[in-house]
Amino acid sequence: MSSVAQTKKFFPRRDWGEVLAQSLRSSDELLAALELQSADFPNGLSLAKQFPLLVPRPFVERMTKGDPHDPLLLQVLPLAAEDQLHRGFTADPLGEQSANVATGVIHKYHGRVLLLAASGCAVNCRYCFRRHFPYNENRLNHAQWQSALDYIAQDTSISEVILSGGDPLMLQDERLADLVDSIANIAHVQRLRVHSRLPVVIAERLTDQLTDILTRTRLRSSLVLHVNHPRELTPLHAERLAKMRQAGVTLLNQTVLLKGVNDNLEVLIELSEQLFNHHLLPYYLHVLDRVQGAQHFDVSSRAAYALYQQMLTRLPGYLVPKLVREEAGQPHKTPLHVF
């Protein structure tokens, strides 16, 4: 059997939008798929009306049935712990609303600006630092898109545009292509960076069309994925990401350190090694942003640094991500140093 035939056999062609449309949207539905019951969570579940459950089926298929402690499940299942209030955990932990300088534009750091290209996501991660963000006030109509681009065009210090959200890859290819072309027409912008979790949970989003969009302009493009655990990666990711890398897209990953999910040396080592096997370089290891509702994921800075030190002794330097915390009002991410 030819390699092409094998690819068709193991990776049937599916439209990512169709996969997204079949996502699970309730805890009952998710627990039933995993052969679990609410009683398996003695501290209770959250109704999560303001930030409801959303998880695509391919991501659910990577979870272990019958395991209430599955590290992928814990990232998406609303637990009652979310409803508790804790000092120091706020709705806007990074002070982004003060940096929200125009509709859909966040400008925090010199030389780069963040464009909220879409307000929706393919998965609602329970630790999301933007779970309380006012997306209703940042949805861009046609005139506001032009206003956002004008803001970038008028500031010649901006050399890099970061597409974020929500998730920018929620945009259909035609709209995304128009946006990238418009950014490329701004002479002082040299780099485009796309931050996305969508291809992690739905690998079919890594299309040839997406690769073309990211490589056909003069911009140097990077795709930064968000993988937290080695089981999130699949052979289909390796196949699609290999094509993107060969086409010239820089492929990076950022991870959030999460209690009960990946705060374990062996898991972090396996993650870095699997990222490299899937053509991704580890970029950042983030200490949790202290957003209201995510306190049960918090790993102390001291424990995070101890893990980081152990990673340095076990991995080559290029597989050790930078350990950082993002702090409101600071001109850059803050590296965690010796304690």
Decide: 110 and 157 in contact? Cβ < 8 Å.
yes
Proportion of the chain above pLDDT 70, given as a percent: 94
Q: Residue 199 pLDDT more than 90?
A: yes
Last residue of a domain, one of 48, 83, 118: 83
- Mean pLDDT confidence for 254-278: 98
Nearest to 55 by CA among 118, 162, 153, 128: 128
Q: Residue 1 pLDDT more than 50?
A: no
Nearest to 108 by CA among 330, 284, 324: 330
Proportion of the chain above pLDDT 90, given as a percent: 79
- In this structure, the answer to whether residues 39 and 155 fall within a common structural domain is no
Q: What share of the chain is helix, strand, coil (3-state, %, to 5)?
A: 40, 15, 45
- In this structure, the answer to whether residues 138 and 220 fall within a common structural domain is yes
- In this structure, the answer to whether residues 259 and 220 fall within a common structural domain is yes
Beta strands in the chain (DSSP E): 105-106, 112-116, 160-164, 191-196, 220-225, 250-256, 281-286, 322-325, 334-335
Long-range contacts of 180-185 (CB under 8 A, 24+ apart): 180/213, 180/214, 180/217, 180/219, 181/217, 182/149, 183/149, 183/152, 183/219, 184/217, 184/218, 184/219
CATH of the domain at 252: 3.20.20.70
Higher per-residue pLDDT: 280 or 94: 280
- In this structure, the answer to whether residues 66 and 116 fall within a common structural domain is no
- In this structure, the answer to whether residues 122 and 39 fall within a common structural domain is no
Please report which confidence band the pLDDT of residue 7 belongs to, taking 50, 70 and 90 as the band edges: very low
pLDDT number for residue 3: 35
> Domain total for the chain?
2
- The two tokens of residue 265 are 């040396």
pLDDT number for residue 10: 47
CA torsion 233-217-179-204 (nearest 10°) is: -20
Chain segment 110-139, per-residue pLDDT in tens: 999 999 999 899 999 999 988 887 766 777
Of the listed ranges 132-136, 162-166, 268-272, the least confidently predicted one is 132-136
The alpha-carbon radius of gyration of the chain (Å, integer) is 20
Please check whether residue 180 lies inside any domain of the structure: yes
Last residue of a domain, one of 83, 116, 133: 83
What is the average pLDDT value for the chain, to the nearest integer?
Answer: 92
For the full predicted model, state whether its pTM sits above 0.85: yes
pLDDT number for residue 331: 83
Please check whether residue 46 lies inside any domain of the structure: yes
Measured CA to CA in angstroms, residue 238 lies from 117, 187, 243, 260, 321 at distances of 26, 34, 9, 26, 20
Decide: 19 and 57 in contact? Cβ < 8 Å.
yes
Cα distance between the two ends of the chain: 57
- In this structure, the answer to whether residues 133 and 264 fall within a common structural domain is yes
What is the extent of the structural domain holding 65? 3-83
Last residue of a domain, one of 18, 50, 83: 83
Chain segment 289-314, per-residue pLDDT in tens: 899 999 999 999 999 999 999 999 99
Please check whether residue 274 lies inside any domain of the structure: yes
- Mean pLDDT confidence for 238-252: 98
Q: Residue 29 pLDDT more than 60?
A: yes
